[in-house]
Structure 1
Amino acid sequence: MTDKPVLVTGATGYIGGRLIPVLLEKGFRVRAVARSPVKLSCRPWARDPGVETAVADMQDRSSLMRAARGCSAAFYLVHSMKAAVPQQENLDLQAARNMSLAAGMEGLDRIIYLSDLGDDHARASRHLQSRARVGRILQAGRTPVTILRSSVILGSGSAAFELIRHLVQRLPVMFAPRWVDTLSQPIAVQNVLEYLAGCLEKPETTGRTFDIGGPDVVTYADLFRIYAREAGLRRRIIIRVPGLTSKFLARFAHFLTPVPASLAETLIESMRDKAVCRDQEINKIIPQELASCSQAMSLALHTVHQDQVQTCWMDAGQLQAPEWIIQEDQNSAGSRILEYTQTVELEGTADRLWPLLEEIGGSRGWYGMDFLWRIRGDLDRLAGGPGLRRGRRDQSRLLVGDALDFWRVLRCEPPHVLVLLSEMNLPGEAVLEFRLVNTEQDRVRLLQIARLKPYGLPGLVYWYLTYPLHGLVFRSMLLNMARRSGRRVLSGPHAVDRDRLISG
């Protein structure tokens, strides 16, 4: 085993975030790469002495070369799930070229790439074709490439599992296209991680392509029934209906599951393609006990119920905060920033009240007027936004970059500051901020601040239409947080001048 670190691209993504702890357990040093330094720094493994972090953009070859410098090998775990969009597919292919060139220039021993299982032919889904093209680009470089091709990955937080879980939970009768009977060979996420890490330990995997799958060859209809059985639900009735398009089914899934239509369409399109291993030669090189579909789903469900989901499909993506939010400067916004603040003063200290803030949203709700939050979430879903169905990965702890209903955690600085960036479909850029400020001994002030940079007249109309609700909802939230904390209210809630209170 070399002393050089192993480069892991997509370190804050679903697979990358889980692979790093596995590599550390096996004694490898890791250089974790992502575009957002804040997202990297707050990951549980970021403080491990065996981990280095590097910020790089896959579209920026020079930054990728700096990240790869001194590494022994690289895991290539980045790829858009919107490859059906030509512009995004071009970005994916350029990212692969940059990775190949950076690996060659920096003298890496090899690249390990996780791709999709299926035959690359003219009628294959755009996503599968794009993944295959990425593999060919990587193989065309100077660095040897190991490609692992997997079918559906079953694990808590995976997009495929979440799509299956929410559809089966909500639909006792399911209308499905005929290709719901397409064969696939799903694999548990823990088996995928073991294969990926095992490739580093087995030099004979260098330069080869392997199909990886679990022990079961099943249809997608079988997967729905297996989930229902493992979740203790009645057997689901599946009715085949010809003519259902992937776009229609994706829009339908958008309203029933947390998976957005764009991602659901890619997943559904991929279901048309048979995804069965042609051989399982890799089992001879990296032997392991493969989990059945039932075992994989049972473990995933247990993990969800125990609130121990390590990573989620929602984790991926760049965290981009508008400049006016970063600088907290209205002048940098180029237009007026609209703001509404309420505060309440309580007995206690910030560290005692912080857990209430960190548990906000998801299954626990928003502490007040939850029916209004649900209406707003449904309206956002109708407009193509995430709505409230995304929930949150962990019900008691937040990390920067985490999805939180229709927000994204922008700042999380216990026990004082929580800033949420809106991902709603609305005419402007919005944040919701909470601050806990210790004022005197055993006295703490809780501020709740909504800010919007409106997009022209529609943004102004939106703000002033919803403005009357701010006072109603904020007051309810602050009072309920106070009651939940068991602390006595000393003053408020009332609307205030935020800057005066924070400084005073």
Structure 2
Amino acid sequence: MNNTKPILVTGATGYVSGRLIPLLLANGYKIKAMGRSITKMMDRPWGKDKNVKLVKGDILDIQSLKNAAKGCGTVYYLVHSMISQKGKYRDADKTGAKNMVQAAAEEGLEHIIYLGGLGDITHKNISKHLISRNEVGKILMEGPVPTTVLRAAMILGSGSASFEILRYLAERLPVMITPKWVSMPTQPISITNVLGYLKGCLEHPETKGKIFDIGGPEVVTYRDLFRIFAKEANLPSPIMIPVPVLTPKLSSLWIHLVTPVPAAIAQPLAEGRSLPTTCTEDSITQIISQDLISCSEAIRRALEPVIQEQVDTCKTDGSKTRRPEWSHYGDASYSGGTLFSCGYQSIVKGTPGNLWKCVEKIGGRTGYYGADPLWKIRGSIDTLAGGVGLSGNRRANKVLKVGDTVDFWKVLEMLPESKLLLLSEMKAPGQALLEFRIENMDNGQCKIILLSRFLPKGLIGLLYWYVLYPFHEYVFIQMLKGLAKASGLKLVTQPGKYYPSPSDVCRWSNE
């Protein structure tokens, strides 16, 4: 294993690349991360790692590719133009592959590793997307630099576009009118196993110049996947009614309507469902040994993180290990499920210390400083549903600490005079956070922010959020007024809407 030359990882802010880079760093490799935005790469926890060099590059700009490849030994070609070029992605991808071949040859690279798509190129239903993936692989293989091509079907893990389509359809449609392709066989693979093969190709020179099919241990249908997802998410198994008139193009439009996945992604992926995507050979398993993760286990891992991991700020410890199947900061906005938020803010005349004394007393006998009848109704509903309700369950001591219980809330984070983060443990179709934030300002003033976030579970969770949203607005306004009054402080501004910044709701990074 040669760790002396840097490894070039293209498309560094992409789904696979962003998870591959920390894996390679953890194994002692030096990385050149290439992307079209230095700022976006620098924003990742690995962006400032001493063993990472950031280079701006575009596969359509041959000179930038040469600059990125200079001094490297291996390149991971993990770029796709499906989003940036939309309908013209096929031509752009061919041009990019030719540029990569030229840059790799002129800069003396030793190995190209490419992740493409699985599917019989001669099948009558082959999609343009899979044709393009195969064309790129062929161009790279015909170049003078030894190339390894890995061909995968659906990648299972939060953040993968295919997985997110599966998630949203399963969560939002208890009854589905489906195209015939739901019965098509496929061999999904977990993102952990994809990364294992990508890293393994780097360490096994005998993979050079070869094409490998990679897949998980099971061949299933898309109907099976919907049912497996529902079981792991504790959702009712969806009722699926296949109809012959629902073409891949119509399917993609329906996917775009029901899910937040953009049509530019949904259509090519939907078209690729119309043919079997199973491994025709498994020779790579004899070269690179790893435990293959089942569909159930991969989906279970993707659903593991609780809401506080979905919404923590971007200031995370880059050394912290996280499963590749989890949502990471930098993933597409639709990754990890729909995260709703509702926030209000006010400016008061006074110090954070005055406000904090009241924030820290919240719950129990003190109540919630506003709309108490509504809080009592919600508490009664929770009690009837088998929850603890507003039982006054909190320590008598006024000083809270992480892990304390406050009625049906659990204290997740507490920064005195700055932040109190509570996780709801009430009976609800989803997970909820309630955050109090105090920001010191000039002229003896401070701002108090009240922000709730909700990760719904299934269609019922979506309905739950929208039904309660008007009540949230009323309750939060009253709570802000009540907090100011209880603190003996004067409101400088009346409660107004607070719109979270990306750092308030961002996904965890690819640590």
After TM superposition, the score normalised by the length of structure 1 is 0.65
Name the CA shift for 1:485/1:146 in 2 (closer, same or farther; >3 Å).
farther
Aligned AA (2:98):
R
Match of 2:34 in 1: 33
Are the counterparts in 2 of residues 89 and 130 from structure 1 also a CA contact under 8 Å? yes
Q: Distance in 1 between matches of 2:149 and 2:330?
A: 23
| Percent of aligned pairs with the same amino acid | 44
Match of 1:59 in 2: 60
Cα displacement string for residues 169-206 of structure 1 (whole angstroms, at most 9, x for unaligned residues): 12222111112111110000000011101111111111
| Residue 295 of structure 2 is aligned to residue 277 of structure 1 | no
Q: Distance in 1 between matches of 2:56 and 2:475?
A: 38
Q: Which has the higher contact order (CA 8 A, sep 6+)?
A: 2
Q: Secondary structure at the match of 1:492?
A: coil
What are structure 1's unaligned runs of at least 5 residues? 317-341, 354-414, 416-435, 448-474, 496-504
Are the counterparts in 1 of residues 179 and 251 from structure 2 also a CA contact under 8 Å? no
Match of 1:177 in 2: 179
How much does 1:134 deviate? Answer: 0.8
Match of 1:314 in 2: 332
Name the CA shift for 1:480/1:19 in 2 (closer, same or farther; >3 Å).
farther
Match of 1:468 in 2: none
Are the counterparts in 2 of residues 82 and 127 from structure 1 also a CA contact under 8 Å? no
Counterpart among 213, 235, 244 of residue 211 in structure 1: 213
How much does 1:3 deviate? Answer: 0.9
Q: Distance in 1 between matches of 2:215 and 2:107?
A: 33
Match of 2:294 in 1: 292
Stretch deviating more after TM superposition (190-199 or 78-87): 78-87
Name the CA shift for 1:94/1:437 in 2 (closer, same or farther; >3 Å).
farther
Match of 1:89 in 2: 90
Match of 1:71 in 2: 72
Match of 1:439 in 2: 442
Q: Distance in 2 between matches of 1:209 and 1:179?
A: 26
Aligned AA (1:46):
G
How much does 1:289 deviate? Answer: 0.3
Match of 2:138 in 1: 136
Name the CA shift for 1:491/1:111 in 2 (closer, same or farther; >3 Å).
same
Are the counterparts in 1 of residues 70 and 107 from structure 2 also a CA contact under 8 Å? yes
Q: Secondary structure at the match of 1:111?
A: strand
Q: Distance in 1 between matches of 2:277 and 2:483?
A: 52
Name the CA shift for 1:312/1:185 in 2 (closer, same or farther; >3 Å).
farther
How much does 1:278 deviate? Answer: 1.0
How much does 1:140 deviate? Answer: 2.1
How much does 1:59 deviate? Answer: 1.2
| Residue 203 of structure 2 is aligned to residue 201 of structure 1 | yes
Q: Distance in 2 between matches of 1:81 and 1:477?
A: 44
Q: Distance in 2 between matches of 1:240 and 1:88?
A: 31
Cα displacement string for residues 135-169 of structure 1 (whole angstroms, at most 9, x for unaligned residues): 11112222111000001000012111111111111
Are the counterparts in 2 of residues 347 and 490 from structure 1 also a CA contact under 8 Å? no
Q: Distance in 2 between matches of 1:304 and 1:146?
A: 37
Match of 1:80 in 2: 81
Name the CA shift for 1:149/1:44 in 2 (closer, same or farther; >3 Å).
same
Are the counterparts in 1 of residues 188 and 219 from structure 2 also a CA contact under 8 Å? yes
Name the CA shift for 1:298/1:6 in 2 (closer, same or farther; >3 Å).
same
Q: Distance in 2 between matches of 1:110 and 1:239?
A: 47
Name the CA shift for 1:123/1:494 in 2 (closer, same or farther; >3 Å).
closer
Q: Distance in 2 between matches of 1:80 and 1:17?
A: 17
Q: Distance in 2 between matches of 1:489 and 1:210?
A: 69
Name the CA shift for 1:484/1:203 in 2 (closer, same or farther; >3 Å).
farther
Name the CA shift for 1:282/1:135 in 2 (closer, same or farther; >3 Å).
same
How much does 1:437 deviate? Answer: 8.5
Name the CA shift for 1:199/1:347 in 2 (closer, same or farther; >3 Å).
farther
Aligned AA (2:89):
Q
Cα displacement string for residues 385-439 of structure 1 (whole angstroms, at most 9, x for unaligned residues): xxxxxxxxxxxxxxxxxxxxxxxxxxxxxx9xxxxxxxxxxxxxxxxxxxx8942
Q: Secondary structure at the match of 1:227?
A: helix
What are structure 2's unaligned runs of at least 5 residues? 311-325, 335-344, 357-417, 419-438, 450-472, 497-511
Name the CA shift for 1:46/1:313 in 2 (closer, same or farther; >3 Å).
closer
Mapping 1:3-402, distance limit 5 Å: 3-81=4-82, 86-121=87-122, 123-303=125-305, 306-307=309-310, 309-310=327-328, 314=332, 344=347, 347=350
Q: Secondary structure at the match of 1:80?
A: coil
Name the CA shift for 1:478/1:169 in 2 (closer, same or farther; >3 Å).
closer
How much does 1:261 deviate? Answer: 2.3
Q: Distance in 2 between matches of 1:106 and 1:485?
A: 64
How much does 1:273 deviate? Answer: 1.8
After TM superposition, the score normalised by the length of structure 2 is 0.65
Q: Distance in 2 between matches of 1:481 and 1:251?
A: 43
Cα displacement string for residues 48-78 of structure 1 (whole angstroms, at most 9, x for unaligned residues): 2221111112211111111111111100011
Q: Distance in 2 between matches of 1:281 and 1:204?
A: 12
Are the counterparts in 1 of residues 86 and 264 from structure 2 also a CA contact under 8 Å? no
Name the CA shift for 1:484/1:206 in 2 (closer, same or farther; >3 Å).
farther
Are the counterparts in 2 of residues 113 and 147 from structure 1 also a CA contact under 8 Å? yes
Q: Distance in 2 between matches of 1:484 and 1:30?
A: 53
How much does 1:247 deviate? Answer: 2.4
Name the CA shift for 1:313/1:249 in 2 (closer, same or farther; >3 Å).
farther
Name the CA shift for 1:440/1:12 in 2 (closer, same or farther; >3 Å).
same
Aligned AA (1:268):
A
Q: Distance in 1 between matches of 2:160 and 2:493?
A: 43
Are the counterparts in 2 of residues 346 and 482 from structure 1 also a CA contact under 8 Å? no
Aligned AA (1:158):
S
Q: Secondary structure at the match of 2:261?
A: coil
Match of 1:465 in 2: none
How much does 1:494 deviate? Answer: 10
Aligned AA (2:82):
M
Q: Secondary structure at the match of 2:48?
A: coil
Are the counterparts in 2 of residues 59 and 95 from structure 1 also a CA contact under 8 Å? yes
Are the counterparts in 2 of residues 34 and 54 from structure 1 also a CA contact under 8 Å? yes
How much does 1:235 deviate? Answer: 2.1
Aligned AA (2:140):
L
Q: Secondary structure at the match of 1:45?
A: helix
Q: Distance in 2 between matches of 1:281 and 1:154?
A: 22
Are the counterparts in 1 of residues 212 and 283 from structure 2 also a CA contact under 8 Å? yes
Aligned AA (1:224):
F
Cα displacement string for residues 279-309 of structure 1 (whole angstroms, at most 9, x for unaligned residues): 1111111100000001111111113655251
| Count of residue pairs the alignment pairs up | 362
Structure number, greater radius of gyration: 2
The two structures, once aligned, show a CA RMSD in angstroms of 3.3
How much does 1:259 deviate? Answer: 1.0
